[in-house]
Amino acid sequence: MSALSHLRQLEAESIDILREAVAEAERPVMLYSIGKDSSVLLHLARKAFHPARVPFPLLHVDTTWKFRAMYALRDRVAHSGQFDLIVYHNPEAQRLGINPIEHGSALHTDLWKTQGLKLALDQYQFDLAFGGARRDEEKSRAKERVFSFRNRQHHWDPKQQRPELWRLYNARKGPGESIRVFPLSNWTELDVWQYIRAERIEVVPLYFAAERPVVERDGALIMVDDERMPLRSGESIQIRRVRFRTLGCYPLTGAIESDATSLDAIITEMEHTHSSERQGRVIDRDGGASMERKKSEGYF
Amino acid sequence: MDAPTANRQGDLLRFITCGSVDDGKSTLIGRLLHAAHALPDDQLAALADESRRFGTQGEALDFALLVDGLSAEREQGITIDVAYRFFATARRKFIVADTPGHEQYTRNMVTGASTAQLAVILVDARKGVLTQTRRHSHIVSLLGIRNVVLAINKLDLVDWSRERFEQIERDYREFAQHLALHQITAIPLSALHGDNIATRSAHTPWYTGPSLLQHLEHVEPDMAAGDDPLRLPVQWVCRPGHDFRGYAGRILGGSVRPGDAVRVLPSGRQTTVARIVGFAADAAQAVRGESVMLTLADDVDASRGDVLCAANDPAGVADQFETTLIWMDEAPMLPGRPYLAKLGTTTVGASFSAPKYAIDVNSFDKLAARTLELNGIGVANLALDRAVAFDAYAANRDMGGFIVIDRYTNRTVGAGLIHFALRRSQNIHWQAVDIDKQARARQNGHRPAVLWFTGLSGSGKSTIANLVERELHALGARTYLLDGDNIRHGLSKDLGFTDADRVENIRRVGEVARLMVDAGLIVLTAFISPFRSERALARSMVEDAEFIEIFVDTPLAVVEARDPKGLYRKARRGELKNFTGIDSPYEAPQSPELHLDTTTQSPEQAARAIVAALVARGIVRAHD
């Protein structure tokens, strides 16, 4: 068919989606999670609208428990002058002092992230939000549309999804309703890394292997990123050579042992790896339909 | 992305798998993912666990569980939506649209097929070519897929019989002569045991062709010629400052270089391409599939929805078409109802004629039809509010495929394929005349208007309209009352009371009212007119200030108690079908110009309120 390489086809499709959404939306926003998918999305947005400035702000729904290296990259992005960045903290979670250590991953994630996102979208009246989710991440994501419709309560109804044909996206909605748009729907984890290498995109250094202080907890390697993490009895901090495949709140994110210190090494490791990306995420493990339930409640 | 590594993975193949649960489709996809090492250990461990709990394969892995994503589906053991899967081999990356095969899921299959370059059609070797095999093949061919893999599965259950395999292949090729397929590749399989999936199986020494995965890695699907003309719908206009105007869009056909002559459709203005603006540097060429930003040599006024075409081979421009329409919504397609159509980057008002015929998805026989139901396929004429650039679907999928959107629910309710433009759309023009509406209004001494009464049967529409007309007549206004029952005796006597007929009835009344408004009259219409869409259609036929929607609001309990014609009693007894308020919906107006509550005012009071409102709007003058 076409002479375009696989990565260039994915890039062209994502740029098409970004432009189409901007043309149809009134107040678009991009959810920025500081992870590798967000970095790719940000890069695609710059390409899509060049030479104009990216015509929407970035929204970071913060939990105050991200890795320090993530905050450092976020601040560099903000200070680059290329983007308008909004950082949102759910005031209720802040007031209650919700944290993953005392309150557990479910409550922490729900209040800071799920509820925080809904509050932020309502407060700023955004009618369309870009996210970096991919269909290869999880079974229920495999059926989500590129333009995913949410009702006034931000709920997702898998039975009411609009058919998506050809390259035609239906972005029409009623007052108060909104749309989540996923330009990376058809990318895989390997595609993301190959693209990061081909385009020399900056990512958080935690993706590369280094000697880091970790504890073994519930079968995962948790990095002790600051003094807020108390050790349980019997736990001790060890220095191990680790890296992260996904990034989130540091007490909820497991590292893997690895020697991959470069993009080439990461890609080689990926091509031979036999565990899935989200394995390190503590929040995904509660039951088979866990993600589908969180999504219908409004989680990204 | 000029790094050579970006090309190392080879290209991308999108394909669709068609078949029912019983054919082993999910098992086949699971096998392919497994063979391509796309299944991580933790997913395999979860699969082993789920196989023991829900599976149908004893201790063996049940690959079907792997790809049935939504929990509702896992419980019911069926796949009810389109799911996309990804895997890669050293040669190629693959995106698989996994769609359900039952007749009631035709819409999902059409959705999956719309982006696929190839189809894998599963056949159970014990059953051979079935009705559903023909259905899948018809839809695949209709959507423009030219390459098919006939995956003859469960060969282990027919003792790896070569005769059985060849018989099924012969049957299929004979049937497929009626289709527009270019390449059919039959492969003997056992998805459950993995035979001929990744490598050739020892069980089929008589088979000399490739394994399924080998075939998918090497096939070159013929979707589009390489030398087709440029098609670039303008998606977004980039104006960061006064000295730059870029046109962003995705190339849907052909290629482009700086200096190429292009024509902007539908306006027809011609110019040349100045630059292909790149992120790091400008590009010397861009091809089909790329998202680009162009600048043009002249200051042509192009905007979103316009299409840049090769000047020597432009697309067509028309507003009426013959189309194949696939209906995707619970609410049936209603001829004449105003919808929206999205084609390329244009969204435009659209309506359909009654279907010329519907298509039986199993036999592809032509059937008579007045509407299309969910999953129905038919041929109907499409009329757009304005002319757009297009190509026939057969020539260019992306320039000839469109979706249909409901104006009120905003749902995607249908998908269509353009066959050709109807000649008459270029030849019928509105006849311009010298004596116009304003001239007639001056002579009449009042402005024309439509007073559109809507409400349940028995709410008092005709009674109030009659009183209003008497008062207007006394004021010297020229009026005409179009009454529901009277129209049903003449203009619409060929229509019944189905939703489709109600829509057509209101369309005719709207057209008559429009001519009368043009003649300078104040037209009063008294129809139940239960649907918002049709009232909106009638409103759209005249100027904004000329349409006065009057909601005669009487609760169902009250009209049922009144029941002046005994109709509600009949409807409750089931003797009258499709009766509004009983077994057919009434969609109340959301913002009518006038809202009359007949439980608190008499018909005379209501009529006086309406006349007062007409005076206030400057349509008629009160007696001094």
Position A88 pLDDT exceeds 90: yes
Residue type at B337 in one-letter notation:
R
How many CA atoms lie within 13 Å of B57's alpha carbon, on the beta-carbon side? Answer: 16
- Among the partner-chain residues A6, A19, A20, the one whose CB lies closest to the CB of B11 is A6
C-alpha dihedral sign at B310, B316, B322, B328: positive
For residue B195, tell me if it sits in a domain.
yes
> Does B441 lie in the same domain as B418?
no
> Residue B53: which domain range?
12-218
Tally the domains of chain B.
4
Tell me which range, A208-217, A283-292, B493-502, is most confidently predicted by mean pLDDT. Answer: A208-217
pLDDT tens digits, B49-58: 777 666 666 5
pLDDT of residue A285: 47
Nearest to A16 by CA among B176, B289, B259, B373: B289
Chain A residues close to B238, C-beta within 8 Å: 49, 51-52
Mean pLDDT of A225-253: 90
Task: Flag whether residue B244 sits within 8 Å of chain A, measured between CB atoms.
Answer: yes
pLDDT tens digits, B213-229: 999 998 887 655 557 89
Tell me which range, A182-196, A217-231, B32-46, B498-512, is most confidently predicted by mean pLDDT. Answer: A182-196
Alpha helices in B143-254, H assignment, sequence order: 162-176, 212-218
Domain's final residue, options B310, B336, B366: B310
> Does B235 lie in the same domain as B194?
no
Among B167-171, B289-293, B564-568, B613-617, whose mean pLDDT is lowest?
A: B564-568
For residue B3, tell me if it sits in a domain.
no
Answer yes or no: do A23 and B345 touch at CB < 8 A: yes
Chain B residues close to A142, C-beta within 8 Å: 67, 69, 83-85
Chain B residues close to A50, C-beta within 8 Å: 277, 279, 293
Position B595 pLDDT exceeds 70: yes
pLDDT band with cut points at 50, 70 and 90 for residue B592: very high
For residue B88, tell me if it sits in a domain.
yes
pLDDT band with cut points at 50, 70 and 90 for residue B499: confident
pLDDT of residue A4: 67
The beta-strand segments (E) located in B365-510 are: 366-367, 377-390, 401-405, 412-421, 449-454, 479-483
> Does B169 lie in the same domain as B121?
yes
Task: Flag whether residue B432 sits within 8 Å of chain A, measured between CB atoms.
Answer: no
Position B1 pLDDT exceeds 50: no
Nearest to A129 by CA among A12, A278, A18, A46: A18
Distance (Å) from the C-alpha of residue A5 to the closest C-alpha of chain B? Answer: 5
For residue B7, tell me if it sits in a domain.
no
pLDDT of residue A229: 86
The contacts found for B478-481 with CB under 8 angstroms, 24 or more apart, are B478/B444, B478/B446, B478/B520, B478/B521, B478/B522, B479/B521, B479/B522, B479/B523, B479/B524, B480/B516, B480/B521, B480/B522, B480/B523, B480/B524, B481/B523, B481/B524, B481/B525, B481/B526
- The CA-CA-CA angle for residues B181, B19, B117, to 5°, reads 40
pLDDT band with cut points at 50, 70 and 90 for residue B70: very low
> Does B573 lie in the same domain as B460?
yes
The beta-strand segments (E) located in B515-621 are: 522-526, 547-553, 594-597
pLDDT of residue B434: 67
pLDDT tens digits, B81-95: 778 888 888 888 899
In this structure, the number of other CB atoms found within 10 A of the CB of residue A97 comes to: 9
For residue B368, tell me if it sits in a domain.
yes
Complete edge-to-edge strand list for the sheet that includes strand A85-88: A85-88, A58-61, A28-31, A128-130, A178-181, A147-150
Tell me which range, A205-214, A282-291, B562-571, is most confidently predicted by mean pLDDT. Answer: A205-214
> Does B342 lie in the same domain as B410?
yes
Whether A212 contacts A242, CB under 8 Å: yes
pLDDT of residue B186: 95
pLDDT band with cut points at 50, 70 and 90 for residue B10: very low
> Does B445 lie in the same domain as B420?
no
Chain B residues close to A9, C-beta within 8 Å: 11-12, 289
ipTM of the prediction? 0.87
pLDDT tens digits, A44-57: 999 999 999 999 99
Position B341 pLDDT exceeds 80: yes
Chain A residues close to B412, C-beta within 8 Å: 162-165, 170
C-alpha dihedral sign at B310, B316, B317, B322: negative
Answer yes or no: do B290 and A174 touch at CB < 8 A: no
pLDDT of residue A286: 46
Active site residues of B: 529
> Does B264 lie in the same domain as B214?
no
pLDDT tens digits, B22-55: 777 878 888 888 888 766 666 677 777 777 666 6
Chain B residues close to A143, C-beta within 8 Å: 69-70, 81-84
Q: Model's pTM, two decimal places?
A: 0.77
Chains A & B: contacts with CB separation below 8 Å: 194
Q: Which residue of B has its CA nearest to A144?
A: B83
Distance (Å) from the C-alpha of residue B473 to the closest C-alpha of chain A? Answer: 42
Domain's final residue, options B394, B426, B458: B426
The beta-strand segments (E) located in B302-345 are: 307-310, 316-327, 339-343
> Does B127 lie in the same domain as B246?
no
Which position has the higher pLDDT, B483 or B71? Answer: B483
Pairing verdict, β B479-483 and B412-421: unpaired
- Among the partner-chain residues A2, A5, A188, the one whose CB lies closest to the CB of B6 is A5
SS3 category, B562: helix
Which position has the higher pLDDT, A151 or A119? Answer: A119
pLDDT of residue A290: 55
> Does B107 lie in the same domain as B57?
yes
pLDDT band with cut points at 50, 70 and 90 for residue B500: confident
In this structure, the number of other CB atoms found within 10 A of the CB of residue A225 comes to: 21
In chain B, positions 217-236, which contact chain A (CB-CB < 8 Å)?
220-221, 223-224, 235-236
In chain B, positions 68-107, which contact chain A (CB-CB < 8 Å)?
69-72, 74, 81-86, 88, 92-93, 95, 107
> Does B270 lie in the same domain as B206?
no
C-alpha dihedral sign at B520, B521, B524, B527: negative
Answer yes or no: do B88 and A8 touch at CB < 8 A: no
Rounded Cα distance between A248 and A241, Å, is 19
Element (H or E) spanning A291, and its range?
Answer: helix A290-297
Mean pLDDT of B602-610: 92
Distances (CA, A) of A137 to B199, B278, B302: 28, 31, 40
Among A96-105, A178-187, B334-343, whose mean pLDDT is lowest?
A: A96-105
> Does B204 lie in the same domain as B258?
no
pLDDT of residue B427: 41
Answer yes or no: do A19 and B84 touch at CB < 8 A: no
Complete edge-to-edge strand list for the sheet that includes strand B307-310: B231-233, B307-310, B261-265, B269-276, B291-296, B244-250, B236-241
Beta-carbon contacts of residue B20 (< 8 Å; ≥ 6 apart): B100, B101, B102, B122, B132
For residue B431, tell me if it sits in a domain.
no
Position B327 pLDDT exceeds 90: yes
Task: Flag whether residue B491 sits within 8 Å of chain A, measured between CB atoms.
Answer: no
Give me the count of residues in chain B: 624
Interface test with A, best of B1, B63, B219 (most A CBs within 10 A): B1
pLDDT of residue B488: 82
Interface test with A, best of B33, B104, B291 (most A CBs within 10 A): B291
pLDDT of residue A291: 56
pLDDT of residue B476: 86
Nearest to A189 by CA among A32, A40, A14, A30: A40
pLDDT of residue A233: 86
For residue B201, tell me if it sits in a domain.
yes
Mean pLDDT over all residues of chain A? 87
Position A298 pLDDT exceeds 70: no
Position B505 pLDDT exceeds 90: no
pLDDT of residue A281: 58
CATH label of the domain that carries residue B580 = 3.40.50.300
pLDDT tens digits, B246-303: 999 999 999 999 999 999 998 888 999 999 999 889 999 999 889 999 999 988 889 9
pLDDT of residue B143: 92
Q: Is B226 exposed, middle or buried (0-12, 13-18, 19+ CB in 10 A)?
A: exposed
pLDDT of residue B251: 95
Beta-carbon contacts of residue A151 (< 8 Å; ≥ 6 apart): A157, A177
Domain's final residue, options B310, B331, B366: B310
CATH label of the domain that carries residue B415 = 2.40.30.10
Position B361 pLDDT exceeds 50: yes
pLDDT of residue B299: 85
Pull the structure tokens for residue A229: 């993490």
> Does B326 lie in the same domain as B265?
no
pLDDT of residue B444: 83
pLDDT of residue B67: 61
Position B624 pLDDT exceeds 80: no
Mean pLDDT of A22-30: 95
pLDDT band with cut points at 50, 70 and 90 for residue B9: very low
pLDDT of residue B77: 47
Pull the structure tokens for residue B239: 């104006």
Which position has the higher pLDDT, B524 or B85? Answer: B524
pLDDT band with cut points at 50, 70 and 90 for residue B429: very low
For residue B224, tell me if it sits in a domain.
no
